[in-house]
Amino acid sequence: MKITIIGRQLTVYDDTRELIEKKLSKLDKYFKASPEATVTLSRKRNVSSLEVTINAGGTLFRSEVDAPDFRIALDQTVDHIEGQIRKNKTKLAKRLRENVMDMAVIPDPVEEIPEDGPIIRVKQFEFKPMTPEEAIMQMDLLGHSFYVFNDITTGDTCVVYTRKDGAYGLIEPLK
């Protein structure tokens, strides 16, 4: 697994890097190809935040944990991602097998922070054509309440979202 470690307004020491690499290497057994992981560490008001995003053949796994210590946050993050993988094991196995041949490099989202105005953060990323079911799975893996994607059958840009009653919704453009 290729791991990129980012420290936001802090220095990441070698022992912390080694611990992160050791813990994340336990997840290698779930992937046939070598995934890319981005780990972001930050600390605000004595709370350590650790965010891990793993890109495995276009499927993103993400977990963000706040804890009093980075070691605790790392353990919880690895457990959360492993739980995501186990929960969606058959869907992911099928999807990862299908994507082995067309493992196009999907760049990390480009994040910009505007200087003023009501928009706090801007992210840009490439859409991968998928079915609404795949988009729902991806949304759940990322822990988001909505997900924007290109519908594989129509080519339209659509949005799946989680409704207040726990069901899912789909927003499609008018034809």
Length of the chain: 175
Average pLDDT over residues 36-57: 88
The pLDDT, as a whole number, for residue 92 is 61
Same domain for 151 and 86? no
| pTM for the whole structure | 0.61
Judged against a pLDDT cut of 70, whether residue 107 lies above it is answered with: no
pLDDT digits (tens, 9 = 90+) for 83-104: 888 877 766 666 555 554 343 3
Choose the final residue of a domain: 108, 141, 156.
Answer: 108
Judged against a pLDDT cut of 60, whether residue 120 lies above it is answered with: yes
Same domain for 134 and 172? yes
Same domain for 101 and 173? no
The pLDDT, as a whole number, for residue 104 is 37
Nearest by Cα to 23 from 5, 9, 10: 5
CATH number, domain with residue 142? 3.30.505.50
Question: CA angle, corner 51, sides to 142 and 139, nearest 5?
Answer: 5
Q: How many domains does the chain have?
A: 2
Per DSSP, 104 falls in state -
pLDDT tier at 106 (50, 70, 90 boundaries)? very low
d(CA 50, CA 39): 7
d(CA 53, CA 29): 17
